[in-house]
Amino acid sequence: QVVNYAPFTLLPSAVPRALFEQAYAVQQDFNLLVDAISQNKEFLEQTLASTIKVDDFTAQLFRIYMQVLEEGLAQTVFLGINRSDYMFDCGLDGTAALRQIEINTIAASFGGLTSRTADVHRLVLKVLGKTEEASHLLPNNPAKGLALGIAKAWELYGSQRAVVMFLVEEIQRNIFDQRCVENELWSRNIRVIRKRFRDVFEQGSLDASRRLYMDGQEVAVVYYREGYVPQNYDQQNWEARLLLERSRAVKCPDIATQLAGTKKVQQELSQPGTLEKLLPGRPEAVARMRATFAGLYSLDEGEEGDRIAATAIADPDRFVLKPQREGGGNNLYGEELRQVLEKIKDSPERTSYILMDKIKPQPALNYLLRAHSPLQVSECISELGIFGVYVRQGQELVLNQAAGHLLRTKAIEHADGGVAAGVAVLDTPYL
Ligand code: ADP
Ligand code: MG
């Protein structure tokens, strides 16, 4: 096997302190919101109705969701691990505003590796003789925070013998990120196993009360680091997913929470009145969340969709066109956006996308260090992610926290793409 170091910036990047604090301050609200959506069948049904007609992947997830609800949930403890991502939009007067890019509700990664990046940057600053600056870098340990949530869910599940199962990809490129979280669990004397969908298909079973067993070993928590893109599934893997969802085990996330993280749901949340309906009696939380939203637009069939599609075709650089996909590299920009929209503008396929205002951050210079790549200074922009973790038992929320942050930086030539896609690299905020 081949091991490479994870790519990182040579230097920490400047992040406005007020926006960093704003992102932390709104994370518990977003945890509450995602959890509320996951329990709101009517909202998910209505919001995704148009999408599932044209997007097969979302439709298949939705079918499993409905099937599990019809049978009745065996799961009573719920664990959410998400990451809300932001960019700093630069206004005409030069002031920056926090703008949410998306919330990842499944397999939000790099909480492990980024628990080490502040140490790297502290060292680099010291080597450069900037000891004072080095002391300003904040401690950050999402691995510990995520493990805390998993451990809490494991404990509430209530079986000492049961294990935590990481559901992982066939080819594991980001294993060390996961190991950081895994090791935190072992240090709490919680056993962890790593399995793929195909192992679940071959070895997984449910007993009469729908407890999940892998080759005779009871599973308390299933932590998905896979299962968020169509390529992760064949017929067997879909069957394995259904088995897991039907089980009593705590899924992180359950399928409803995965659906809550779709781009279509994000777009619907920006509609006037939606947040208020989802979180009645919480006007402050609603205001904090709304303050981070960028313009989001439905491309559903009808006059409104026609109008915004025409606006985007006329001025494509103002927007990003997003399909219902995760993992980076799927969005469309500029000329490509225009061409695709022209092609699908009168077809139902348009409904499988949403439109979003393009965020335009102020670039800064940095070096991106990547294995086997030449070293050069690049103009860069950054994306800040805040990890959220929460645990609910029945109707009672027993844990709701921000669990640390992630800063990813990329050269401005790349419109899209994260660290796994080979575009962005790990960074540390310098407030
Ligand atoms: P994915 O689920 O594929 O990660 P994202 O919505 O996070 O989808 O988009 C992927 C990347 O595209 C982001 O990391 C960001 O770099 C860029 N991006 C997404 N939305 C915008 C936007 N509104 N403005 C500017 N860049 C964006
Ligand atoms: Mg993303």
How many whole angstroms from 31 Cα to the centroid of ligand 2?
17
Q: Is 351 in the same domain as 376?
A: no
Could you give the CA distance from residue 198 to residue 341 in angstroms, rounded to a whole number? Answer: 38
pTM over 0.95: yes
- Residues having CB closer than 6 A to ligand 1 are 85, 101-102, 294, 320, 322, 325-328, 330-331, 356-359, 383, 416, 418
Ligand closest to 330 (CA) is: 1
Q: Is 283 in the same domain as 399?
A: yes
CB-based burial, 161-183: b 16+ in 10 Å, e otherwise: ebbbbbbbbeebebbebbbbbbe
Inter-residue contact 132 to 197 (CB < 8 Å):
no
Residue ranges for the known binding site for substrate are 83, 106-109, 172-174, 178, 225-228, 408, 419-420
Q: What is the DSSP track for 222-249?
A: EEESS-SSGGG--HHHHHHHHHHHHSSS
Residue ranges for the known binding site for ATP are 102, 263, 322-331, 333, 356-359, 383, 410, 416
Q: How many helices (H) and strands (E) does the chain have?
A: 16, 18
Copy the structure tokens of residue 13. Answer: 């990047």
3-state secondary structure of 86: strand
| Consecutive H or E run containing 125 | helix 117-127
Which of these three, 340, 358, 376, is where a domain ends?
358
- Residue 335 falls inside a structural domain: yes
Q: What dihedral do alpha carbons 141, 228, 262, 380 form, nearest 10°?
A: 50
- Residue 47 falls inside a structural domain: yes
Q: Is 313 in the same domain as 171?
A: no
Q: What dihedral do alpha carbons 188, 200, 108, 220 form, nearest 10°?
A: -30
Copy the structure tokens of residue 375. Answer: 């070293």
Q: Is 265 in the same domain as 317?
A: no
Rounded to the nearest 10 degrees, the angle between the axes of helix 27-38 and helix 283-290 is: 110
Could you give the CA distance from residue 88 to residue 19 in angstroms, rounded to a whole number? Answer: 8
Q: List helix spans (H) across 212-364.
A: 235-246, 255-260, 263-269, 274-278, 283-290, 303-314, 334-344
Could you give the CA distance from residue 58 to residue 60 in angstroms, rounded to a whole number? Answer: 5
Q: Is 312 in the same domain as 418?
A: no
Q: Is 189 in the same domain as 252?
A: yes
Residue span of the structural domain in which 340 resides? 295-358
CB-based burial, 34-72: b 16+ in 10 Å, e otherwise: bbbbbebeebbeebbebbbebbebbeebbebbeebeeee
Q: Is 118 in the same domain as 16?
A: yes
Which of these three, 339, 358, 377, is where a domain ends?
358
User: Which atom of ligand 1 is least distant from the CA of 356?
Assistant: 23
Q: Is 373 in the same domain as 346?
A: no
How many whole angstroms from 418 Cα to the centroid of ligand 2?
7
Give pLDDT tens digits for 316-360. 999 999 999 988 889 999 999 999 999 998 899 999 999 999 999
Q: Is 288 in the same domain as 305?
A: no
Given this model, what pLDDT does residue 129 score?
A: 98
The end-to-end CA distance of the chain, in Å, is 38
Q: How many domains does the chain have?
A: 2
Could you give the CA distance from residue 356 to residue 340 in angstroms, rounded to a whole number? Answer: 15
pLDDT means over runs of 10, the chain (431 residues)? 90 98 98 98 97 96 98 98 98 94 97 97 98 97 98 98 97 93 98 98 98 97 97 97 98 98 98 98 98 97 95 97 90 96 92 96 96 90 98 97 98 83 92 98
Which of these three, 338, 358, 378, is where a domain ends?
358
Ligand closest to 320 (CA) is: 1
Could you give the CA distance from residue 161 to residue 427 in angstroms, rounded to a whole number? Answer: 39
3-state secondary structure of 215: coil
Copy the structure tokens of residue 281. Answer: 């009696």
- Residue 1 falls inside a structural domain: no
Give pLDDT tens digits for 264-318. 999 999 999 999 999 999 999 999 999 999 999 999 999 999 999 999 999 999 9
Asked if omega into 363 is within 30° of 0 (cis), the reply is no
Write the CATH number for 55: 3.40.50.1760
Ligand closest to 87 (CA) is: 1
Q: Which phi and psi angles does 245 have, rounded to 5°?
A: -65, -35
Q: Is 155 in the same domain as 25?
A: yes
Given this model, what pLDDT does residue 403 score?
A: 98
For atom 19 of ligand 1, the residue with the nearest CA is 101
- Residue 82 falls inside a structural domain: yes
For atom 9 of ligand 1, the residue with the nearest CA is 328
- Residue 308 falls inside a structural domain: yes
- Residue 2 falls inside a structural domain: no
User: Which atom of ligand 1 is least distant from the CA of 319?
Assistant: 23
Q: Is 77 in the same domain as 130?
A: yes
Could you give the CA distance from residue 427 to residue 40 in angstroms, rounded to a whole number? Answer: 37
Inter-residue contact 217 to 144 (CB < 8 Å):
no
- Residue 104 falls inside a structural domain: yes
- Residue 3 falls inside a structural domain: no
How many whole angstroms from 78 Cα to the centroid of ligand 1?
28
Annotated catalytic residues are 83, 102, 104, 109, 263, 322, 326-327, 408
Write the CATH number for 345: 3.30.1490.50
Q: Is 411 in the same domain as 322?
A: no
Residue ranges for the known binding site are 83, 102, 104, 106-109, 172-174, 178, 225-228, 263, 322-331, 333, 356-359, 383, 408, 410, 416, 419-420
